Structure 1
Amino acid sequence: MTSPGTLLSAWNLRPQKKMGQNFLSDPSTAEMIIARSGIDSMDTLLEVGAGLGALTVPAARASKKVYAVEKDQRLIDLLKTELLVYNVSNTVLINSDILRLDLRKLVEGGTEKIIVIGNLPYNISSMLLVRLIENRDIISRAVLMFQKEMAKRIYAGPNCKDYSRLSVMVQYCADIKKIATVKAPLFFPKPKVDSEVIELTFKTEPQYKAYDEQLFFRVIKAAFSKRRKTLKNSLSGNILNIDAKKSFSLLNQAGIDPVRRAESLTAPEFVKLGNQYWTQLHTDKHR
C-alpha cells in the first residue's frame, strides 16, 4: 500500500479538513479490522468514506461485493486506479454523500442484508448512526471506526458523563462490541485523538420494544435536551408538547421518579417511558 502522503502528492491533492479526512496509513491495521469483522465471501458490504482505498481493498478481497461510497469527487479517479492496481473487480464506486444516498436501492431485489464498514469523519458520525438505525431492517451489522470521544458516547452506560441520546438509541437496537483501538499516528494527517473500531450487531427484535420508535426517539431527545434538569422539567416543552404537570403525571405512570435526570435511565426504562407516553396520547385521543 502506497502511503497516503505519497499517493496524494502524486495526484496533486491535499486532505480536506472540512470533510474530516484522516486516511489510514497502516495496511496491517486495515487487514486486522477486516479479519476481526468476520467478513466472508458471501457478504455484501457498504463502505462509508472509501478515501484512498485502505479498507476498500482488503474488504473487497474478503467479501462478495463492496459498494464503496466517497463524497469527495477529487478522489474517485484515484480510487479507480488503486482498485485496478490491486486487481479488485467486485467493487462499485459511488460518488455521493452517504447521508443523502438511498440505502434501500442497494438491496433492491435481494434477500440478504448488508454489512456497513467505514472510517467515519467526526462531523457525520451521529447523523450516520441515526440513519443506520432507521434502516437496520436491511443492515445486519456495522463495523465502524470512530474518534475515541464519539465511541465512548455509543457504549457509555447510565450515570456516566458520556451517556447520551445516541447511547440509548444504539443500545436499544444493537449489541455493541469493541473491535480495536487505532492510534492517532496511524493516520495521515495525524488527528488529535485515537480512534476505536466498534461492531454494532442489530437485533432482530429489541428485548424491550417501543410501540412507536419515532415517538420513542423523540422522548429520548427531549429528556437529554436539558440533561442537567430533572426529567419532569426536561420533558416539558416544545419537543413533546406537554407542560410540567403532564410531564410529572407521565413519569409517575411509568414508575419513574420525576426528579431523576436523563443520564440515570437505562434503555429499557426509556422504552417504558416512551410506551407510557404513546398510551397517554392514544388515551387522550379517544376521550
Structure 2
Amino acid sequence: MTSPVSLLKAWKLRPKKQLGQNFLADPSIPRMIVNRAGISSEEIVLEIGAGLGALTVPAAKAAKRVYAVETDRGLIDLLQTELLLYKADNVTVLTRDILKFDLADFVRQEGIDQPLVVIGNLPYHISSQIVVRLIEGRRWIDRAAMMFQKELARRFMAKPGGRDYGRLSVMLAYCAEVRSLAEVRADLFFPKPKIDSEVIEVRFRKTIEHPASDEAFLFQVVKAAFGQRRKTLRNALAGSELHIAPEAAGLALDAAGIDAARRAETLSVREFVALSHALGEARSDLEALAG
C-alpha cells in the first residue's frame, strides 16, 4: 500500500478538511479491521467513504463483492487506479453522497438477496447521521464495522447513568449489539486528527426483545428526552417538539412507572419503550377527543 502522502502528492491532491478526510497511513490497520469484522468470501460489503482505497483493497480480497461509496469526485480516478493496481476487480465504485444514498433502492437495483456488511472510516461531522441511516435501513444490513473518533464511539457504546449515554446510545441498544473491535492512534492517519479513533461493530438483532409499537415515535421520544437533558423528564418532554402539556407528560410517566423527576440519561431502553407506549396512548386519546 502506497502511503497517502505519496499518493496525494503524485496526483496533486490535498485532503479536504470540509469532508473530514483523514486517510489511514498504516496498512496493517485496514487488514486488522477486515479480519476482526469477520468478512467472508460469501459476503457483500458496502464501504462508506472509500477514499484512497486503503480499506477497500483488503475488503475486496476477503469478500465476494464490495460496493465502495465515495462522495469526493476528485478521488475517483486515483481510487480506480489503485483498485486496478491491486487487481480488486470485484469492487464497484459509487460516486454518491452517503447521506442521500437510498439503501432500499440500491439493494433492489443490484439484485442483492442477502444482508450487507457495512464498513468505513467515517468523518466525524456526519458520523451520527450515518448511524441513524443505518439503523433505519437495518433490514438490509447484517452488521457494520466502522471507525469513529473515540469520544463518539464511546457514546455509541454507553450504558445508562453516564454523561456519554444519549440518543444514539439508546437507538443502537434498542436494535443492535455494539462492541469495540480496536483502538487506533491518531498518528496512524494523514493528516493526523486531534483525537484517537475506535473501531466498533454494530450487529443488528434479528428480533428485538422489547419492541416498540411505533418505532419512529419511540425515537422521537428519545430525541425529545435528551433534547434538554439537564431537565427532568417531565419538563424535557413538555418543552420538546412533541408539544406535550406538562400534565400529560406527568401522567404518561406515571403510566410507564417512571418517576417524572428522573432525567433521560437514567432510563433504560425498556423504560423508553414503555414511555413511548404511554405517550402514544395519550396521543391517541387526545386525537380521538379532537375527532
TM-score normalised by the shorter chain: which range applies? over 0.9
TM-score (norm 2): 0.97
Are the counterparts in 1 of residues 249 and 279 from structure 2 also a CA contact under 8 Å?
A: no
1:95 aligns with 2:95: yes
CA contact (8 A) 2:177 2:203 kept: yes
Compute the displacement of 1:238 (Å). 4.3
1:110 offset after TM fit, Å?
3.0
Equivalence map 1:1-287=2 (5 Å)? 1-108=1-108, 109-287=111-289
State the AA in 2 paired with 1:55: L
Whole-angstrom distance in 1 between the partners of 2:267 and 2:240: 21
Q: Is the 8 A contact 2:248 2:282 kept in 1?
A: no
Offset of 1:150 from its aligned partner?
Answer: 0.6
Q: Distance in 2 between matches of 1:170 and 1:216?
A: 13
Residues 150 and 197 of structure 2 are in contact (CA less than 8 Å); yes or no, is this contact kept in structure 1? yes
Q: Runs of 4 or more off by more than 6 Å in structure 1?
A: none
Give the Cα separation in 1 of the matches to 2:269 and 2:171. 8
Q: State the Cα distance separating 1:63 from its structure 2 match.
A: 0.2
Q: Percent identity?
A: 54
SS in 1 for 2:93: strand
Q: Which whole-Å deviations, capped at 9, do the CAs of 1:199-221 have from their partners, x for residues lacking one?
A: 00001121110110110011001
Deviation (angstroms), 1:283 = 3.1
Unaligned runs of 5+ in 1: none
Deviates most, 61-70 or 235-244: 235-244
CA contact (8 A) 1:57 1:86 kept: yes
Moved more, 231-240 or 145-154: 231-240
In the TM superposition, residue 243 of structure 1 has moved relative to its aligned partner by 1.2
Q: Secondary structure at the match of 1:99?
A: helix
Q: Cα offset for 1:271?
A: 0.8
In 2: Cα distance, 1:102 partner to 1:285 partner: 33
| In 1: Cα distance, 2:168 partner to 2:151 partner | 13
Letter in 1 for 2:55: L
Task: Determine if contact 2:233/2:261 at 8 Å carries over to the other structure.
Answer: yes
Q: Secondary structure at the match of 2:261?
A: coil
Structure 2 gap ranges (5+):
none
**SS state at 2:100 partner:** coil
TM-score by length of 1: 0.98
Structure 1 distance, partners of 2:43, 2:258, is 43
RMSD: 0.9
Residue deviations 1:99-147 (CA, integer Å, cap 9, x gap): 1011123321332011110000001111000000000001110110000
